Structure 1
Amino acid sequence: MTSFYKYMMRYRGAKKTTDERKLADWMYYDHEFPKHSQSYDEISQYLEWNIPFNDAIYLFDQLWQDYLEVRN
């Protein structure tokens, strides 16, 4: 199974700056981010403690649903 981090790397380097790109870039540069995790709870808790921007947790919830669909 692919980690959520690896799934998110599809958004890095996009020409258009979107919230998805901002979150992916932040995850890439944050060396403490749980990059190998496939756990919603672990990643969600990490984001709650280290929120990179206001809508990041809401965006994460949306992207997590996409991640689950792609993963299965």
Structure 2
Amino acid sequence: MKRSFYQWLMTQRNPNGKDELAHFANSAFFDQSFPKQSEDYHEISDYLELNGNYLPNMAVFDQAFTEYQALNKL
């Protein structure tokens, strides 16, 4: 079964992590409105552009989504 982006992102959490991906994952964990079931780039991107003030820039999401897609193709 394919995991949603959020489910994959939660595997990147690290409360002590200093990298941008860990920060993104940690912050998304506390975002109760995050589209948790979505696998769609545009849906998540649109959400983050309007609500992702914890994201320093959208490049972090783009890189994370690229990694997510690569793992889902395996």
TM-score range, shorter chain: 0.7 to 0.9
Backbone CA RMSD of aligned residues? 1.3
Partner of 1:54: 56
- Unmatched segments (≥5 aa) in structure 2: none
Partner of 2:43: 42
Q: Normalising to structure 1: TM-score of the pair? A: 0.88
| C-alpha distance in structure 2 between counterparts of 1:24 and 1:31, whole Å | 13
Identity %: 32
Determine which structure has the larger helix proportion and give its number.
1
Q: What do the CA deviations read for 1:29-62 (whole angstroms, capped 9, x no partner)?
A: 000000110010110000000121322x111111
Number of residue equivalences: 71
Q: Normalising to structure 2: TM-score of the pair? A: 0.86
- Structure 1 stretches of 4+ moved >3 Å: none
